Amino acid sequence: MPMQGLVKTLVMGLALCGACMFALAPAAISAEGAPTGAWRTTNECFLAAFLLTDDGRAHTAYLTGEHDDNAVWTWDGSTLRITSRTFDLDSFAGHVASDHVEADYVWHDLDKNELHQQSCVFERFTDLGI
């Protein structure tokens, strides 16, 4: 399936960009409960994958091949929020449930100047395949 190949390529690129940070990120949820580590979409969300580092940075990859290495994330114990500095109209609010993240995601289509809303599901991703 072509979409799966694209997502795998995006995840690999994201993993390579954050390989050093990924090596330091725990495979399981940290003691504070924050969902650090690498995550990829399971339902073709426009936000294809993201890597949450211990320092509050998020590296994001999108189905279009675009990425944001300067996004930030916050965790209040129940809600994960990712804020893109590149795509400032995007909005991500997710909840961890059984080792996956369920999120309401709003993304800005720059070509059409339209906002789109999606319900997205992400799974933890630990196999870099390298």
**Which CATH number applies to 2-124?**
2.40.128
What pTM does this model have? 0.72
pLDDT at 17: 43
% pLDDT > 90, the chain = 53
Check: CB of residue 30 under 8 Å from CB of residue 54: yes
Sorted by where each begins, the domain ranges of the chain are 2-124
Give 80's DSSP letter.
E
Q: Which of 130, 129, 123 has the alpha carbon at shortest distance from 38?
A: 123
Asked whether the predicted pLDDT for residue 116 surpasses 50, the reply is yes
Quick check: helix, strand or coil at residue 64? Answer: coil
